[in-house]
Structure 1
Amino acid sequence: MSYKIGELIASGKTKLVYSLDNPSLVLLKFKDDVTALDGKKRDVIVGKGVLNAGISAKLFQLLKESNIDNHYVEMYDPTSLVVEKLEMIPVEVVCRNIATGSIVKRLPISEGTVFDPPIVEFFLKDDARGDPMITESHMTALKLASKSEVEKIVEMALKANEVLKSFLASKGLTLIDFKLEFGRRNGRIIIGDELDPDCMRIRDTSTGRILDKDLYRKGATLEEVKRAYEEVYRRIVEA
């Protein structure tokens, strides 16, 4: 289907959002930028936008086929997705299967601890406050979501985790944890944003090799980061 691209609606660290001639849809364009430390560290990896757009499209389609509601409609071009326009909830929802990253600094949990069942955490999107962790009660107290919406978000995050974890395992990949963002459309809670190595911790199951943005956080070269993203793309998009 053809679309007429309108004005730039939003510009984020790694993505751009444009209006379309269909008011219920927007264009999500993936940039080649890679960032860490809340944007304080920034570089460009040529071709990263293509990799993340393709991976996101594949994983969103996988969730749709599993009846998990998300904003994906179709790919527009190699770096852009057509998605439903949502009223976004300013919260990052993190689902953790294995302990690493911030949780082992915040809590007396050893690196590599397997969470069964998985842990779901909420972080308020607030750069000035350092994206603080919040509880389900905070979500309702701050009027970010109703109690039933919070329950739906947790349910969808856990279901998405099972689908993604199983799919990635079939490709020789281990899903350590991942971040989701949610929005509303016509009263429905829907998964939005992206699903790619920028917001997922993925490891090679046999070697433990890091295949996500953790490489960049840990000081790997841009070429090493690109090769990791290309490996994920090869296994889940081209396979």
Structure 2
Amino acid sequence: MNPKMGNLIYAGKAKTVYETDDPDQVIVKFRDDITAGDGVKTESLVRKGYYNSVISAKFFEVLEDAGIKTQYIKLIKPGYMLCKKLDMIPLEVITRNIAAGSLLKKFPFTEKQELEPPIIQMDYKNDEYHDPMLNDSITIALELATKEELDTIRSITLEINSVLKEFLLSKAILFPDFKIEYGFDSEENIVLGDEISPDTCRLWDAQTSEVLDKDLFRKGEDGVMDAYMKVASLLLDETDIAKWNVEF
């Protein structure tokens, strides 16, 4: 039996988190809102939350199968995810496998340059300060995380990158970069939270380099929902589609 949705806990740019009748669990609602440029550019795209939720659920299940702890419990139905309640760490952890986006604006990398080993970048998740890039000294001085916690986050992130790169390549998708977030569970374990979706990743068709993520929206191009739907159709197998009653 699914838990009952309770009071609102938090409303972000594209997701809303609700209490349940279990104090250690929450329901995350994936909304259709899409934003760019620190929320300056905002729109609502029909069924965006639907597809982001099933894509995230698939990624979380792949990671759980690989032994990586996440907050994911199950997808109740497309758009609504049951998760463990986490005390979120205010860091955005960005992993870059291929040079793209803001990295090219700030540093003299060549576009589509392969980055081996991958770059791990941490930003302060804070709208007031526009999510600035951090180093370890600033992170520790702000008491956002300890040196040991940062080492743990980097280690888990590299595992996540390895697992998802391989999984996506098997689906003919390249994985240039992605942003993830972590939190502490009730036992003080550092656990992957938030979402992994075309909103938070760059995803390119491995054959054509076609963009299949939010970059289309950032650049004002058409076909955003076609791209998200294509990602879902490539990632989900028949079992997933039947289990979650996904409709294309």
Same fold (TM over 0.5): yes
Secondary structure of 1:207 counterpart: coil
Greater displacement, 168-177 / 143-152: 143-152
Structure 1: runs of 5+ lacking an equivalent: none
Secondary structure of 2:89 counterpart: strand
Q: Could you tell me the TM-score, scaled by structure 2's length?
A: 0.94
CA RMSD, Structure 1 to Structure 2 (Å): 0.9
Map of 2:73 onto structure 1: 73
Map of 1:190 onto structure 2: 191
Runs of 4+ in 1 over 2 A off after TM superposition: none
Distance 2:2 2:106 in 1: 48
> How far is 1:233 from its partner?
0.3
> How far is 1:137 from its partner?
2.2
Distance 1:229 1:12 in 2: 20
Letter in 2 for 1:236: L
The superposition leaves residues 91-146 of structure 1 with CA deviations (integer Å, 9 ceiling, x where unpaired) of 10000000011111111111111110100000001212211000122221211111
Distance 1:171 1:2 in 2: 32
Map of 1:117 onto structure 2: 117
How many residue pairs align between the two structures? 237
The superposition leaves residues 58-79 of structure 1 with CA deviations (integer Å, 9 ceiling, x where unpaired) of 0001100111111000011210
Map of 2:234 onto structure 1: 235
Q: Could you tell me the TM-score, scaled by structure 1's length?
A: 0.97
Secondary structure of 2:22 counterpart: coil
Secondary structure of 1:182 counterpart: strand
Greater displacement, 128-137 / 84-93: 128-137
Map of 2:54 onto structure 1: 54
Match runs of 1:16-95 below 5 Å: 16-95=16-95
The superposition leaves residues 16-66 of structure 1 with CA deviations (integer Å, 9 ceiling, x where unpaired) of 000000000000110011111111111111111110000000000110011
2:224 is equivalent to residue 225 of structure 1 = yes
Secondary structure of 2:221 counterpart: coil
Structure 2: runs of 5+ lacking an equivalent: 239-248
Map of 1:146 onto structure 2: 146
Letter in 1 for 2:131: D
Map of 1:157 onto structure 2: 157
Letter in 1 for 2:118: P
Percent of paired sites with the same residue: 43
Distance 1:208 1:175 in 2: 11
